[in-house]
Amino acid sequence: MVELLRISRRQLHYWASTGLVRPSARTPGGHARYSFEDLVALKTAKRLLDAGVSLQRIRASIQRLRSLLPNVTRPLVELVLVTTGDVVLAFHQGSAVDAISGQEWMFPVAQLERDVAAWRRAAPAARSDADASAADAAWERTA
């Protein structure tokens, strides 16, 4: 497990002992047995850490997401989590939620990009060259 995730054995034990990601089972001898879902949770936590999210923020995000989304018991497994610097977004049922504040992100960036691309294709003759250049420059400044 530690080789697969590229984390230390100590780190794995720490995450288990502090409840970040606990193994699904233990052998009679006390050895941890991780399920596939556990592996997904561990990999998600590792990727968030690698992206610069602190362990404290990951823990706070998990706790907050459990309270915001009571049907989600394992946020690291059940949700798609994306970090944009200091913000962790959780995608759930077609919307994005800030994992700490609970604020829903409603601005559909992908749809806006598709709409602009369709607009560019649909009416190039209807726009003057000056309008097209200004629109292109404005779009590139925001992209």
* Residues composing the chain: 143
- Look at residue 137 in the predicted model and tell me its pLDDT: 57
Indicate if 100 and 118 belong to the same structural domain. Answer: no
Can you list the residues of the chain whose pLDDT is less than 70? 107-110, 123-143
How far, rounded to the nearest angstrom, does the alpha carbon of residue 41 sit from its chain's CA centroid?
12
Please write the tens of the pLDDT for every residue from 125-142: 555 555 555 555 555 555
> Which of these, 50, 48, 40, 45, lies nearest to 87 by C-alpha position?
48
Hey, what amino acid is at 130? A
- Look at residue 92 in the predicted model and tell me its pLDDT: 87
Indicate if 90 and 67 belong to the same structural domain. Answer: yes
Total structural domains in the chain? 2
Indicate if 99 and 65 belong to the same structural domain. Answer: yes
- Look at residue 117 in the predicted model and tell me its pLDDT: 79
Indicate if 80 and 134 belong to the same structural domain. Answer: no
Indicate if 69 and 46 belong to the same structural domain. Answer: yes
Q: Which domain holds residue 123?
A: 109-142
Indicate if 37 and 99 belong to the same structural domain. Answer: yes
Residue 89 in contact with residue 82, Cβ under 8 Å? yes
Indicate if 95 and 125 belong to the same structural domain. Answer: no
> Which of these, 4, 70, 78, lies nearest to 34 by C-alpha position?
4
Indicate if 101 and 114 belong to the same structural domain. Answer: no
Who contacts 10 (Cβ-Cβ below 8 Å, separation ≥6)?
none
Sheet harboring 104-105: ordered strands across? 80-84, 87-92, 95-98, 104-105
